[in-house]
């Protein structure tokens, strides 16, 4: 059984949607950031501030290898997990890759009270998001299907995914 891999920018709804999809499919749900935090015994903010982004990416890639070696998982990946070519190759070979998109306005809105994303700390959040989105566009486009979540309820996005997945797993 193939995995279902959800990619997308921070605030695109990967975890909320992923939990629903997993439940409906009878698959296990894995949140890559949660796996990393559990292993490190540190928050994502603390991993970045104590060890740096490079270290975080190395830990993230190890977590990607592990999920790619399992089956019947719905995986919510971290927004930057797609940057690595090798991670993307593992995602594609282990299952169906679904990219969740969202408008700038909805990303800003969904993350407005959030302080758990180290890459968005400080001023000029919109500028940071816009730069990361354009740097990563080709990596997010490397997917079987892209779904725009702007203005949609998580249940509706999950239903769209389940319809797409029919007969593919
Ligand atoms: C990151 C996204 C975060 C987390 C880390 C880095 C990114 O995951 O992995 O803060 O580079 O976009 P979410 O997309 O789950 O917020």
Confirm whether 167 is domain-assigned. Answer: no
Confirm whether 162 is domain-assigned. Answer: no
Amino acid 136: pLDDT? 98
CB 151, CB 16: distance < 8 Å: no
Task: Name the residue with the closest Cα to ligand 1, atom 3.
Answer: 78
Amino acid 105: pLDDT? 97
CB 62, CB 81: distance < 8 Å: no
Report which ligand 1 atom has the smallest distance to the Cα of 80: 11
Domain holding 53: CATH number?
Answer: 3.40.50.300
Cβ burial of 134 (10 Å; 0-12, 13-18, 19+) is exposed
Confirm whether 140 is domain-assigned. Answer: yes
Distance 85 CA to ligand 1 centre (A): 17
Confirm whether 86 is domain-assigned. Answer: yes
CB 116, CB 163: distance < 8 Å: no
The answer to whether the Cα torsion of 146, 151, 152, 153 is positive or negative is positive
Amino acid 65: pLDDT? 97
Q: Is the pLDDT of residue 1 over 90?
A: no
Residue 59 tokens read as 């830990």
CB 130, CB 10: distance < 8 Å: no
User: 22 falls in which pLDDT band (50, 70, 90)?
Assistant: very high
For residue range 32-85, list pLDDT tens digits in order: 999 999 999 999 999 999 999 999 999 999 999 999 999 999 999 999 999 999
Structural domain containing residue 19: 3-151
3-state DSSP call for residue 25? helix
For residues 95-112, b (16+ Cβ closer than 10 Å) or e, as one string? Answer: bbbbbbbbeeebbeebbe
- Ligand 1 binding pocket mutation candidate from 16, 43, 79, 149 (most atoms within 8 A of CB): 79
Bigger pLDDT: 138 vs 1: 138
Distance 2 CA to ligand 1 centre (A): 24
Confirm whether 159 is domain-assigned. Answer: no
Report which ligand 1 atom has the smallest distance to the Cα of 60: 9
For residue range 103-137, list pLDDT tens digits in order: 999 999 999 999 999 999 999 999 999 999 999 99
Question: What is the number of domains present in the chain?
Answer: 1
Kindly list the protein residues whose Cβ atom lies closer than 6 A to any atom of ligand 1.
10, 33, 44, 78-80, 117-119
Q: Residue 116: which of 39, 45, 36 has the closest Cα?
A: 45
């Amino acid at each position: 059984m193939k995995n279902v891999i959800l990619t997308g920018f921070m605030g695109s709804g990967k975890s909320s949607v992923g939990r629903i999809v997993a439940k409906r499919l009878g698959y296990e749900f894995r949140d890559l950031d949660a796996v990393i935090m559990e292993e490190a015994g540190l928050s994502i903010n603390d991993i970045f501030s104590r060890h740096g982004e490079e270290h975080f990416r190395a830990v993230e890639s190890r977590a990607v290898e592990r999920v790619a070696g399992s089956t019947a998982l719905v995986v919510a990946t971290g927004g930057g997990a797609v940057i690595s070519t090798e991670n993307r190759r593992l995602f594609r070979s282990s299952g169906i890759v679904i990219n969740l998109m969202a408008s700038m306005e909805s990303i800003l809105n969904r993350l407005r009270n959030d302080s758990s994303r180290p890459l968005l700390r400080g001023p000029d959040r919109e500028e940071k998001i816009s730069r990361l989105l354009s740097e990563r566009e080709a990596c997010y486009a490397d997917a079987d299907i892209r779904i725009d979540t702007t203005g949609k309820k998580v249940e509706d996005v999950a239903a769209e995914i389940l319809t797409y997945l029919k007969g593919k797993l």
